[in-house]
Amino acid sequence: MTVETETTIRRVLERACPEVRVEVVRPLDAGYTSDQWVADTDQGRLLVKVPLRNRDPEHFRRLVATTRVAAEHGVPVVRYRRLVEHDPAVGGPVLVQEFQEGDAAGDVWESLDEERRKVLCRDLGDVVGRVHRIEGSTFGESGAATLREAVEAEVESLLGGTDAFGDGRAVRTATAAAVARLDSTASVPSLVHGDLWLPNILVRDGRITCVLDFEHAGYADRFRDFGKLDEHLFDAFPAGRGVFLDAYAAACPLPDDWDRRVDLAHVLHALSMHVYFLRWTPRWAPQYAEQVEAWLTRNG
């Protein structure tokens, strides 16, 4: 892949948005899956993202479309200006979006006292609830008609990426049983963000202003988002979970079996993270395999 410079990104942006006069371009030290650049222009600041991992243009068409759906339902999100499916200067796709002022919640979290953290958690519950009340017609990338079919397909795909669980029979059996215990009438495909944690939330003056990176969004059981939220936020700050749930339920009421759905979300999150880190950062994969095994012990 070509190594980008300010000059390269300026030319990429000028090709993508010829109506914009570019003044200054500088790199932004943010994100894990893309190189990012901020451009000062005569139409305000723009953010240029050059993906590093998933470079499939279809992936980014879905990202832009999903973000627009979220915006239509009152979710504070970024506005995309242009998707270039392939620019030869960077050897792949380029996303141009309006730059959002604010701080990543993960950068300011440690400086907040407990009450201000609760305020942020309350905002988060409302925002996530608004995302989750957006319904789809099918589940997952497979377009499954039922949650059972979607979970079976996902588990099968994930098990193909690891040999940590033998022949995988215990995982298949336990996850299928967990789905069978759910109220099927409440198994509705909802929009899920897919990567909800503090670095993907922008705040200003302690309040949420924007939800970033719907890169992994799709339609699933809505409590799938609770896997990452619990791991990265509420396991360390349990005092925030109650206010989060209150605000969430006000925006998107909880079904009677919500706690069972969260439990299923935890194991699917652990399994997917295990497979993900096997590919990208293998030293972090074993901890997620241990979480899957602990879940199996509780539910096997």
pLDDT tens-digit map of 191-224: 999 999 999 999 999 999 999 989 889 999 999 9
What tokens appear for 230 in the block? 């619990």
Region of 194 please: left (phi>0), alpha (psi -120 to 50) or beta.
left
Distance CA 277, CA 279 (A): 5
In this prediction, residue 54 carries a pLDDT of 81
In this prediction, residue 189 carries a pLDDT of 98
Instruction: Report the predicted TM-score, pTM, of the whole model to 2 decimal places.
Output: 0.91
Q: Which one, of 47, 274, 296, 31, lies nearest residue 178 by Cα?
A: 296
**Which of 32-46, 57-71, 149-163 has the highest average model confidence (pLDDT)?**
149-163
**DSSP H/E element including 190:** strand 190-192
> DSSP 3-state assignment of 252?
coil
The 10 Å Cβ neighbour count of residue 41 is 18
Confidence band (pLDDT; 50, 70, 90) for 3? Answer: low
Q: Give the β-pairing of 80-87 and 190-192.
A: unpaired
Which of the pair, 171 or 2, is modelled with greater confidence? 171
Whether the pLDDT of residue 159 is over 90: the answer is yes
Distance CA 171, CA 168 (A): 5
Average pLDDT over residues 263-275: 98
Whether the pLDDT of residue 1 is over 80: the answer is no
Average pLDDT over residues 1-10: 77
Whether the pLDDT of residue 245 is over 50: the answer is yes
Question: Mean pLDDT in the chain?
Answer: 94
27's CB contacts (< 8 A; 6+ apart) are: 6, 35, 36, 37, 38
User: Please, what are the domains in the chain?
Assistant: 6-98 (3.30.200.20), 103-299 (3.90.1200.10)
What tokens appear for 144 in the block? 């499954």
In this prediction, residue 130 carries a pLDDT of 97
Whether the pLDDT of residue 180 is over 50: the answer is yes
Average pLDDT over residues 97-106: 94
In this prediction, residue 31 carries a pLDDT of 65
Instruction: Give percent above pLDDT 70 in the chain.
Output: 98
Confidence band (pLDDT; 50, 70, 90) for 34? Answer: confident
Lowest mean pLDDT, pick from 3-7, 50-54, 220-224? 3-7
In this prediction, residue 2 carries a pLDDT of 47
Average pLDDT over residues 117-139: 98
